[in-house]
């Protein structure tokens, strides 16, 4: 029987990963409240790492085969063979209209999802929409359950992607300072907007090496992350660039579709 991770509805205990037991001394089996908190905390780690990998890949491809600065991450949780978070990612080539995050979510993700939802086999984003996915153990593949979506972007709170990866100005122009411009991939900053199935939301503000790789987290959920500052959801910032003020509506629309399909 598939487990439910929503704090308000769960009951029972779940097997913890052996490395977590050894590292933190947690019990080999955890209750639903601990499981829900653990999933959120490890979701932050997974999303932060995904955004870093996205920055490196986009930087390497920026001149030869540019990719869209946005990527959609589909999150799944499983209790077998142990409690864990898995992810699949959808990314596209750099198309002018998709640089607006609202159109990226709608055209590159929601519309294909609706197409699959209308087919006899139904919608499974992990196998139908993702370009890259985690390798899941057989037990986790059978047990996986949709956990949420996250929009990972290189439009950061400090500078948009177009500005971060801009080419260095010519010496003939006499202009050398372009605020936000980066010289190396490790300097690229990014942002992740996550919408979890329990209704909680979070923004992960990831800074590059020139800003000491600092991470700020803004969330509506209870979260404990050592060495990272957790802020109240009120007054959260949005990335620089156009279209960000309306992106939550597009994400909510996608989330609703995915949850409706899961119930079929």
Strand segments (E) across the chain: 13-15, 29-31, 67-78, 84-93, 132-133, 145-153, 190-196, 201-206, 215-219, 229-232
SS3 category, 12:
coil
Q: How many domains does the chain have?
A: 1
Report how far residue 21's alpha carbon sits from residue 197's, in angstroms, rounded to the nearest whole number.
26
Tell me if 44 is assigned to some domain. yes
Helices (H), strands (E): how many in the chain?
A: 8, 10
Identify the pLDDT of residue 111. Answer: 96
Q: Which domain holds residue 56?
A: 13-167+178-262
pLDDT of res. 157: 87
Q: Give the Cα separation of 204 and 156 in Å (integer).
A: 10
How far, in Å, CA of 226 to CA of 41, rounded? 10
CB atoms within 10 A of CB 28: 12
Q: Is residue 3 part of a domain?
A: no
Question: What is d(CA 10, CA 16) in angstroms, rounded to the nearest whole number?
Answer: 16
Half-sphere exposure for 235 (CA within 13 Å, toward CB): 4
Q: Is residue 172 part of a domain?
A: no
242 within a domain of the structure (yes/no): yes
Q: How far is CA 11 from CA 146, 154, 219, in A?
A: 18, 39, 24
- Judge whether 81 lies within some domain: yes
* pLDDT at site 30: 58
Local confidence pLDDT in tens for the 264 residues of the chain: 233 333 333 334 445 444 543 444 444 455 677 788 888 888 999 999 999 999 999 999 988 999 999 999 999 998 888 888 999 999 999 999 999 999 999 999 999 999 999 999 899 999 999 999 988 888 888 889 899 999 999 999 888 998 898 765 545 444 445 567 788 888 999 999 999 998 888 999 998 888 888 888 888 877 766 556 677 666 677 888 778 888 999 999 999 999 998 866
Q: Is residue 7 part of a domain?
A: no
173: which residues sit within 8 A by CB, 6+ positions away?
none
CA-derived radius of gyration, the chain: 19
**What's the full length of the chain, in residues?**
264
Structural domain contains residue 5: no
Phi (first) and psi of residue 232, to 5 degrees: -65, 150
The reported pLDDT for the residue numbered 168 is: 57
* Residue at 2 is within a domain: no
- Count CB-CB contacts under 10 A for residue 13: 17
The whole model's pTM is what?
A: 0.83
């Amino acid at each position: 029987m598939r487990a439910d991770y929503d704090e308000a509805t769960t009951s029972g205990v779940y097997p913890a990963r052996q490395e977590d037991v050894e590292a933190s001394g947690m019990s080999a089996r955890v209750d639903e409240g601990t499981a829900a908190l653990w999933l959120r905390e490890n979701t932050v780690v997974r999303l932060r790492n995904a955004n870093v990998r996205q920055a490196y890949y986009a930087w390497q491809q920026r001149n030869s085969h540019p990719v869209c600065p946005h990527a959609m991450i589909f999150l799944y949780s499983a209790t077998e063979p142990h409690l864990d978070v898995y992810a699949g990612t959808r990314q596209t080539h750099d198309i002018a209209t998709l640089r607006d995050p609202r159109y990226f979510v709608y055209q590159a993700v929601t519309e294909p999802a609706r197409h699959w939802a209308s087919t006899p086999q139904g919608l499974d984003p992990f196998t139908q929409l993702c370009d890259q996915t985690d390798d899941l153990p057989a037990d986790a593949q059978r047990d996986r359950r949709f956990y949420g979506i996250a929009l990972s972007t290189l439009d950061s709170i400090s500078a948009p992607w177009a500005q971060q990866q801009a080419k260095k100005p010519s010496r003939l122009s006499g202009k050398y300072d372009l605020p936000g411009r980066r010289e190396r991939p490790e300097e690229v900053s990014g942002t992740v907007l996550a919408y979890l199935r329990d209704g909680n939301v979070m923004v992960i503000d990831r800074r590059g090496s020139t800003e000491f790789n600092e991470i700020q987290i803004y969330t509506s959920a209870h979260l404990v992350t050592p060495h990272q500052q957790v802020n109240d959801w009120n007054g959260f910032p949005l990335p620089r660039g156009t279209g960000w003020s309306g992106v939550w509506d597009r994400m909510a629309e996608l989330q609703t579709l995915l949850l409706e399909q899961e119930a079929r």
